[in-house]
Structure 1
């Protein structure tokens, strides 16, 4: 694993927990800060690393539209995703609860889709819909298979277009997409790089949604699949990067399924594409990745331009962030791009590289241009922040706290006593951030009790384990790992620990 050293001063230059157990949102008093409800657009990139934006140090390609959002709004330098993989990260976002409490704690599949949220769940969409917003989701859902209680139309969304299943969302040229509760077959698409490029089709629907709702309050959730593996971009984007980032020979894909799984998607010797296991990728993955993030940046620019054209940009909140750290599948090469920036770790790690994500928030009418905050926040804070923003009381307890005082520069900002994560793959993992301290426990299912301890103020790259020097901090974090979660029969954690204890 790559180890990086990083100086705090450089971090600041580039970047230009709540009580133990569950608590209800108590910050709706800040709802009086604004009287006019804004439109809200939440853009969620898929597996985009902290270092994959040019304003945060990316040098191999540029992201001018996202950079402009950052320059015109507030940059959150200490923001965390809900998890280190897709579904639980989205569950934390939608429910306002971290992975010790939220309903979906892993990427487990069920009935051809993902494990579903329950009927009647308080979600970000349901709260905003109750507040009078028209709600739409366009992209990857992953919180309930079609027809389940967790399907987007059953969780507060009026409109949905995109990938209901995360498995289907592995394909940029899928055979089908979901339009509300109906399947739309994509003519000419055979699961390879032919026919219609799904992210562009979905983007068209986003722009139509904005146009259709320009005269009302709307919430648009934009969970794009870019730049999740597989690595596919349209040829016009590939051509921008083939000579710039790929002087090396074409990448030779290998698959544990054997060479028979390799096949061309199109008959084009200059732009060959291959299918490798569950993922397909262009033969030049560096160019493909740069092209994909460039396309994502263009999509952000198109959304902003549409808002400007309609005269509603000033009173629209736009958030841009990522669901977890950079991935390693499909030929992706995060080390080449320095995708995790100052951090170490990738997707599926609870090191900073797996969960410390970029976040910018633009709201021209209210949020100070060019501002920055080191307030420690996480996905589960979005629900209470937006509920406070629109003046809607929450009915169920959550783990998040509103950061609206930070946005507005008014009032006292409550702080988390700590943040908590658990991960149900790769032997089981737990992590706690408490102030400057970060504790990580690996191999939980094997009964491991060793906790790694890092001082993030002095060592954001998590290169020096200080557990032996601060045993009292380790004990405190150990207690928080035990008290910050509720056992769930669908996502057993304590049960697996107990079974391993018996075996050993």
Structure 2
């Protein structure tokens, strides 16, 4: 192929700006900020595995019950329903991916799948060494713990020194399954159906002492044990963050050993004994034996004929409902513990799932395969796990924070799991890193302040098909998945399946009026403008990742029409504050602002803060453009909504980093975030070149700002 040489008159500018030089090791050892427990809430983020939007009573199962239709079996989730009644439910929150590893990674880093490093089915791939929910909150003064399933540790022959062990990503304590596949078995010691598994207490495998320990019970008992020890120990004045990740109801539909212990909280419910072989108070009796009495003898009208006898539920679905009810009991137990410890009022608790319901269950031979059809686990939508239809992405999200959230609140604003990191930054009163794609949900939670509109974007590839469920629209039954995308703008969702190129049209649905996505508006001439906007937006919201190739990776990123008069130069805003990293401007008050044709090369800041430079970069023609940055401080650069250059976490002073992007001719918004420290001026060099040309120093000749 002939290589084209592009003429260039593009530039770079020198930014001598004050930033604290901070090596990677220094950043990791940074002293926690001063935080008082009275000012910052405890945070518990509870994540289930493959629990569907429709599996909870408050979202869907209660409606089935109220219909009184014996052809519609239903589950009960009384504790979660109570959590919704006393707190808030999100009716339009999405997972960042329809499968667990990328979904969990996006939550942990606050990055969309357009910018994340863990994508598709990259199970056990190490989560990047960058800002995470845990190390951000640890810097804010929080004690941090992860309990349950991890699966983001990275592969290594030197186990248990995984490169992305939770302790290397900000957690003080980890107790749980390290590997993704271990979470497919819920009796680690016995390995009843999937073989014995390892459970780690930080770096020590403790599975040998966990006989008869059902993991939903085990994680709950340990979580309670850790919270009690924290609240009754020397760290009692320190707020805590807990990531509690259940591995149910995914995979093997195993049953507990016995009924949930009576009571709950400090003296009742599940309890941690710490005794080998009887580690928790339900580690006795017969494993895989207890069926919840609400379901043990349940029957239904299987043939839609009232004149014929009803049939018992297949054991598979009794098991599924029991597994979910066990989680429900566990949440009630934990919520009671918070009350018993007098910390419920100022503890923010989030309950959700990582993706839609699954069709997979690993059961003994002879069992009926699991199918989300039986309970309508996908709710009023189409799609399941691995689909980017609403049923694969819409999450059953509940929030409790009694001192801040009004009871019975429904939040309909679209959001994603990746928004929680920015939210936690806001509630902990610590600046959100500039790197985050998510926005704080604190305004919609508390009703105070203006809610910023976030982005809802998903990309994913999977070789299978959407199931051929009779309740699904005929046009998508058995639909080939392959490369998929979903983007939501307002009430309208764009979906693409089996994508061949960036020019493929989106199917467009109004998911508020049409939650099952039955009326495709994509071909309507009235939506042609939105169609093109979606095609452009998905390219502007992502960066190419070699580990997750897409058919649109080589597409040119469209520019934007500024719709205002531009002049050459740069706009800047200064945000006063002693920021521990390059901070986001979202939700912050501007201290100063100005414009310049060139940056002052002799500038030395007098106060600590963050300076945001904003400009329109003009690409004179279609082509490949490279950008580089070098500084002895900290900076971050974003092009459109995509990460361009990250010289913040882990960046070594004086290191030059660069990247290339494919741009259409036109204007492209660029943001340069720089962390400043008084009387410590440093230089920052931002350069650019067209393919085949020499590096040029950027200047006002090719950067434009609003007049």
Normalising TM by the smaller chain, what interval?
A: 0.7 to 0.9
Check conservation: 1:327, 1:334, Cα contact below 8 A. yes
| Selected match of 2:359 from 328, 348, 358 | 328
TM-score when normalising by structure 2: 0.57
Correspondence list, 1:380-395, <5 A: 380-395=418-433
- Judged with a 3 Å threshold, the aligned counterparts in structure 2 of structure 1 residues 240 and 115 are, in CA distance, closer, same or farther, namely same
CA distance in 2, matches of 1:287, 1:385: 37
Correspondence list, 1:189-200, <5 A: 195-200=212-217
CA distance in 2, matches of 1:152, 1:283: 39
| Structure 1 or 2: more helix by fraction | 1
Deviation at 1:359, TM superposition (A): 1.1
CA distance in 1, matches of 2:484, 2:503: 10
Give the match's secondary structure for 1:107: coil
| Selected match of 1:365 from 403, 407, 416 | 403
| Selected match of 2:330 from 294, 299, 302 | 299
Deviation at 1:84, TM superposition (A): 0.4
Tell me the residue number matched to 1:422.
459
- Judged with a 3 Å threshold, the aligned counterparts in structure 2 of structure 1 residues 441 and 302 are, in CA distance, closer, same or farther, namely same
CA deviation vs aligned residue, 1:124-173 (integer Å, no higher than 9, x gap): 01111111111011111111145233221111111111111111111111
Give the match's secondary structure for 1:225: strand
Deviation at 1:83, TM superposition (A): 1.0
TM-score when normalising by structure 1: 0.80
Correspondence list, 1:127-146, <5 A: 127-145=136-154, 146=160
1:40 counterpart = 2:43: yes
Give the match's secondary structure for 1:423: strand
CA distance in 1, matches of 2:223, 2:390: 32
Give the match's secondary structure for 2:53: coil
Tell me the residue number matched to 1:244.
297
Tell me the residue number matched to 2:270.
none
Deviation at 1:306, TM superposition (A): 1.1
Check conservation: 2:75, 2:375, Cα contact below 8 A. no
CA distance in 2, matches of 1:356, 1:106: 18
Unaligned runs of 5+ in 2: 1-34, 66-73, 155-159, 189-195, 259-289, 303-312, 362-368, 464-481, 556-707
CA distance in 2, matches of 1:383, 1:239: 36
Tell me the residue number matched to 1:284.
315
CA deviation vs aligned residue, 1:437-475 (integer Å, no higher than 9, x gap): 111111136888242111112211111211111222212
CA distance in 2, matches of 1:188, 1:127: 33
Deviation at 1:243, TM superposition (A): 3.7
Tell me the residue number matched to 2:541.
484
Give the match's secondary structure for 2:322: helix
| Selected match of 1:218 from 240, 253, 266 | 240
Check conservation: 1:104, 1:117, Cα contact below 8 A. yes
Runs of 4+ in 1 over 4 A off after TM superposition: 246-249, 445-448, 494-498
Give the match's secondary structure for 1:226: strand
CA distance in 1, matches of 2:200, 2:503: 43
Tell me the residue number matched to 1:88.
102
CA deviation vs aligned residue, 1:14-59 (integer Å, no higher than 9, x gap): xxxxxxxxxxxxxxxxxx9x96111111111111111111112214
- Judged with a 3 Å threshold, the aligned counterparts in structure 2 of structure 1 residues 167 and 409 are, in CA distance, closer, same or farther, namely same
CA distance in 1, matches of 2:378, 2:300: 23
Tell me the residue number matched to 1:183.
205
Unaligned runs of 5+ in 1: 1-31, 190-194, 250-281, 499-504
- Judged with a 3 Å threshold, the aligned counterparts in structure 2 of structure 1 residues 188 and 283 are, in CA distance, closer, same or farther, namely farther
Give the match's secondary structure for 1:335: coil
Aligned residue pair count: 423
Tell me the residue number matched to 1:22.
none
